[in-house]
Amino acid sequence: MSVNGAWPFSLRAKPFYGWWILLSAATVLMTGFALSAYALPVFYPEFISEFGWPRASVAFGGSVKTLLVGLIAPLNGWIIDRRGVKSILLAGVVTLGVSFALLSGVDSLWQYFLLCVFLGIGASWTHHFPTQLLVAKWFAKRRGLMIGILTTLSGVGNTLVPLLSAALIASVGWREALLILPILLVLPLLAVTFVVRNQPEDMGLFADGGSASPPAESHSGSRAGTPGSKGAPGDWAFLRQTPFWFIGGMMLLSAWGSFAVWHHIVLFARDEGFSATAAASVFSLFVGATTVSRFLSGPLCDRISPTYAMLLNLLLIASSFVFLSLARTPAILYLSMVILGLGYGGIVTCRPLVVFEHYGAMGVGKIYGAATAMYTTGSFIGPVQSGYIYDRTGSYDWAFLLALILMCASIFLILPLRRVGVRRAG
């Protein structure tokens, strides 16, 4: 296929530079964000054993880190709209490297909490949010496919980083492991410094490698990507627009409901009589299904629109909760985990694409940042809420029922978006 079709191979022309952008963004997610999100929990037992810190305190540091990813997102969006994504990614990679190195020398809880704050800041700068914004500016015709590839590759990093962290701890000790892990960040540091460009226009190119700029993406007839236009990201007018609150509310409730369940799957399986190994296999099945769905949901968004694809994924998650309530045999539990994984992996890919569908991809940093903040808030509340309900009742029944209600509410919020969404070109 030709370069204009945004595919990498051509006998007559060099590959479109956007493919290098996609690869660079993937290295940031596979190393930078994977380290910040999935390496730290592997070190929890070492902190508890070494210092005798309470489990709640160690987990609280990780929760603060996770919450900061969302809370800083609107500010990140404001910066991206003015300075571009490159500066954010570069700052994030450097912050993570320094924070992990300093974490190797902690000997008190306050030092751990402080470094968790900086890890949260670095994670927010290397998160799906900025990397997906970057890729979206370089690809328009097959944006869903490219976001799907990006999130799929990030899943590979999420799987490998905990295994590498555990191997390093076993071979050289936890302090030395924290000094070695930042070496992984050299690759994204080089990629961001020498390869990443904020948008194709900076190189005299156009999205998809075309010879002309694609039609302006709009929402309700306005040029959403043009700073200074009404409802554009040049100000905070989107907060007064109904579609944003449908999108943000849907993200808040879907994260709240889904995190309330999948964070407790291993514990739930153990309560149902599964062995430790069998419970871990249940969770692995869920993770594997998310990886498959992250990729498949991208082309699905290109074909039927991100809003309809998101609706399908929310329905899958809700149906998985129904099966989970009936999970008294291994077969039903495994089935519910496959369905849950397919739905949850899908919403990871669909989240940015729904925003781009309604507001365009140019200058949309604050909008996507605000929506990300709402999503992260839900992901913070959900697991804590389920744990509290279990502690009070001795069962997950009410917790999972509430999660189902939240998912149904998120479905009702996305239904009006089918009527206000823009019609995608091509």
Burial environment of residue 124 by CB neighbours within 10 A (0 to 12, 13 to 18, 19 or more): buried
Highest mean pLDDT, choosing among 229-243, 338-352, 381-395: 338-352
Which band of pLDDT confidence, cut at 50, 70 and 90, is reported for residue 416? Answer: confident
Within 10 A of 94 (CB to CB), how many other CB atoms are there?
17
Which band of pLDDT confidence, cut at 50, 70 and 90, is reported for residue 112? Answer: very high
Q: What is the pLDDT of residues 113-142, one digit of tens each?
A: 999 999 999 999 998 889 988 998 899 888
Which band of pLDDT confidence, cut at 50, 70 and 90, is reported for residue 238? Answer: confident
Residue 250 clears pLDDT 80, i.e. is over it: yes
SS3 200: helix
The pLDDT of residue 185 is 95
The pLDDT of residue 110 is 94
Residues 6+ apart with CB under 8 A from 287: 155, 159, 341
Residue 284 clears pLDDT 90, i.e. is over it: no
Which band of pLDDT confidence, cut at 50, 70 and 90, is reported for residue 330? Answer: confident
Q: What is the pLDDT of residues 38-73, one digit of tens each?
A: 888 888 888 888 998 887 788 788 778 888 888 888
Q: What is the pLDDT of residues 353-364, one digit of tens each?
A: 999 888 887 778
Residue 13 clears pLDDT 50, i.e. is over it: yes
Average pLDDT in the 390-413 region? 92
Average pLDDT in the 98-126 region? 94
The pLDDT of residue 182 is 94
Average pLDDT in the 274-288 region? 78
Residue 191 clears pLDDT 60, i.e. is over it: yes
Residue 266 clears pLDDT 80, i.e. is over it: no
The one-letter code for the residue type at 171 is S
Q: Where is pLDDT greater, at 412 or 140?
A: 412
The pLDDT of residue 176 is 95
| Cα 61 from Cα 126, distance rounded (Å) | 19
SS3 223: strand
Token reading at 370? 């605000």
- Asked if 373 and 71 touch (Cβ cutoff 8 Å), the reply is yes
The torsion of the CA quartet 61, 64, 65, 70, rounded to 10 degrees, works out to: 170
- In the block, which residue shows the tokens 């902690």? 106
The residues that bridge with 219 in the sheet, in sequence order, are 222
The pLDDT of residue 418 is 66
Residue 395 clears pLDDT 80, i.e. is over it: yes
Least confident of 17-31, 113-127, 257-271, 392-406: 257-271
- In the block, which residue shows the tokens 């430790």? 276
Sign of CA dihedral 44, 50, 55, 61: negative
The one-letter code for the residue type at 402 is L
The pLDDT of residue 46 is 86
Residue 229 clears pLDDT 60, i.e. is over it: no
User: Hey, what domains does the chain have and what are their CATH numbers?
Assistant: 15-201 (1.20.1250.20), 222-418 (1.20.1250.20)
Query: What angle do helix axes 143-172 and 128-138 make, rounded to 10 degrees?
Result: 140
Q: How far, rounded to the nearest angstrom, does the alpha carbon of residue 148 sit from its chain's CA centroid?
A: 12
Average pLDDT in the 206-212 region? 73
Residue 307 clears pLDDT 90, i.e. is over it: yes
Average pLDDT in the 200-206 region? 87
Cα diameter, the chain:
67
Residue 276 clears pLDDT 70, i.e. is over it: no
SS3 62: helix
Q: What is the pLDDT of residues 213-222, one digit of tens each?
A: 555 554 333 3
Residue 4 clears pLDDT 80, i.e. is over it: no
- Asked if 407 and 317 touch (Cβ cutoff 8 Å), the reply is yes
The pLDDT of residue 211 is 60
- The DSSP letter of residue 184 is G
SS3 138: helix
Residue 343 clears pLDDT 90, i.e. is over it: yes
The pLDDT of residue 421 is 47
Average pLDDT, the chain: 84
The pLDDT of residue 328 is 67
Least confident of 270-274, 295-299, 402-406: 270-274
For 353, phi and psi rounded to 5 degrees?
-70, -30
For 387, phi and psi rounded to 5 degrees?
-65, -40
Interior/surface letters 196-208, b for 16+ CB within 10 angstroms, e for the rest: bbbbbeeeebbbb
| Cα 80 from Cα 87, distance rounded (Å) | 8
Sign of CA dihedral 264, 369, 217, 146: negative
Token reading at 176? 């030395």
Helices of type H across 223-329: 242-262, 265-271, 276-304, 306-325
Torsion region of 53: left, alpha or beta (phi above 0 gives left; psi -120 to 50 gives alpha): beta
Q: What is the radius of gyration, based on Cα positions, of the chain?
A: 21
Which band of pLDDT confidence, cut at 50, 70 and 90, is reported for residue 419? Answer: low
